[in-house]
Amino acid sequence: MRNSTSTLSMTTPEDLSEALQLLADTDKKWIPFAGGTDLMVQLESNLLDGADFLNIWGLFELQGIEESDCEVVLGALTTYSEIRSSEVIKSEFPLLYQAAGLTGAKAIQNRGTIGGNIVNASPAADTPPALLCYDAELLLSSSEGQRWVDYQDFHTGYKTHALAPGELITHIKLRRGQEKKFNFYHKVGTRNAQAISKVLFCLMVQVNNSRIEKFRLALGSMAATPILMDSLRDAFEEQEFGSDLIEKGLSILNEELSPIDDIRSTGAYRKKVTLNLFKYYMEKIYVGLGQ
């Protein structure tokens, strides 16, 4: 049985300041509503009875992609289609560009927002591994002020996060100046289009004269939250790229990975696929460097 719309309400603030003032009223069960691509699924599943929706879709302060010499800042209402239309995202942050293109159908990409994808906190979401690889930062805003948090610290558990009561994600920051890098995004699902992932594999390696300057491997659909393999970063950075390093990485992954079993796949399958993808893409880099 569907929710009765009589148990729901929608309030549309004039600007961000009013929105944050409304969110400060913790007596209300406020749920920010933007693209609605995730919330409508919850609504159909009778999970939002009695909710007070705060319509933030039209807030201009949360829209657009701003560029400077050092960084790119995306408003939380930036849609996947807008990400796909950005030349700077395509050229400098291709993992995010690819993730946006794999998120649902065109209708979802036209409506779904990156802020919503983050705060929905699904471990199978397409954009989080890319954001982890690029060391993204989130601006959390409330009526009392603003604070930047590292995206790596945002997810605290399954469907939970670091947003305090009354806070809203308003912007996502990506630092520029990492042109010399290899980027690989691989989504494994039951089918090629509109599938929830079984494994999300996101690899970014920055190499200078055969020395690894920056190494990031982020994985989705493996645990309660998207994960960044810090142990590989620590083992690889400042090391000479070589076949022995690939074997070392496989050994670390084999020891540390303990993926979940769920309705979409088994942990054993996820682990095997991740090891295979790591070996394949690392060898591709090795060949690309002329080793």
Query: What are the tens digits of pLDDT across the range 107-132?
Result: 888 888 999 999 988 898 999 999 99
Give the span between the Cα atoms of 214 and 181, in whole angstroms.
Answer: 9
Residue 212 pLDDT greater than 80, yes or no? yes
Cα torsion 72, 76, 79, 83 to 10°: value is 10
Asked whether this chain's domains 62-175 and 181-288 adopt the same fold, the reply is no
Annotated domain spans of the chain: 5-52, 62-175, 181-288
pLDDT at position 76 over 60:
yes
Q: Which helix (H) or strand (E) holds 33?
A: strand 30-33
According to DSSP, the β-strands at 160-161 and 155-157 are antiparallel
Average pLDDT estimate for 248-257: 97
**DSSP annotation of 188:** E
Q: For 43-52, 169-178, 232-241, which range has the lowest pLDDT when averaged over its residues?
A: 43-52
pLDDT value, residue 114: 95
Percentage of the residues of the chain whose pLDDT score is greater than 90: 70
Mean of all residue pLDDT scores within the chain: 90
pTM of the model: 0.91
Compare 108 and 50 and report the one with higher pLDDT: 108
| Cα–Cα distance for residue pair 256/252, rounded to 1 Å | 6
Question: Under CATH, what is the fold of the domain 62-175?
Answer: 3.30.465
**Sequence-distant (≥ 6) Cβ neighbours of residue 18 within 8 angstroms:** none
Up-side HSE of residue 160: CA atoms within 13 Å toward CB?
Answer: 4
pLDDT of 224 reads 94
Q: What angle do CA 40, 44, 46 make, to 5 degrees?
A: 115
**What local confidence, expressed as pLDDT, does residue 20 receive?**
97
| CATH T-level fold of 181-288 | Enolase-like; domain 1 (3.30.390)
